[in-house]
Amino acid sequence: MVKTRFAPSPTGYLHIGGARTALFSWLYARRHGGPFVLRIEDTDLERSTPEAVNAILEGMNWLGLDYDEGPFYQTQRFDRYRQVLQHLVREGKAYY
């Protein structure tokens, strides 16, 4: 099964390049019967804003690009990333 995602950084409006990337990912998922995931890469804490998130969501809605999973916010998943990283280090599959 194919699973695609669009992961914009919420530092402004959804621009034409982001819309194109989202469209291609959405079309590929739809064509191959897989889910399209929206992940918000809000790790740039200085520039990311809730208004930009809303603008991205509204832009995607206006374009008719619905998502099957998410939106997942990266800043809300730091604990999960830390758990996986620690596991990989213990297994000898990663280092720091």
Q: What pLDDT digit, counting tens, does each position of 49-89 carry?
A: 999 999 999 999 999 999 999 999 999 999 999 999 999 99
Give Cα separations from 29 to 9, 22, 48, 62 (angstroms).
21, 11, 27, 19
CATH of residue 25 = 3.40.50.620
Within-domain flag for 51: yes
Q: Which two tokens stand for residue 51?
A: 């208004």
Domain count, the chain: 1
Question: Helix count (H) and strand count (E) of the chain?
Answer: 3, 3
pLDDT number for residue 94 = 94
pTM, full prediction: 0.84
Within-domain flag for 29: yes
pLDDT number for residue 96 = 81
Within-domain flag for 96: no
Closest CA relative to residue 20, chosen from 63, 76, 51: 63
Within-domain flag for 95: no
**pLDDT tens-digit map of 2-50:** 999 999 999 999 999 999 999 999 999 999 999 999 999 999 999 999 9
Range of the domain at 24: 4-90
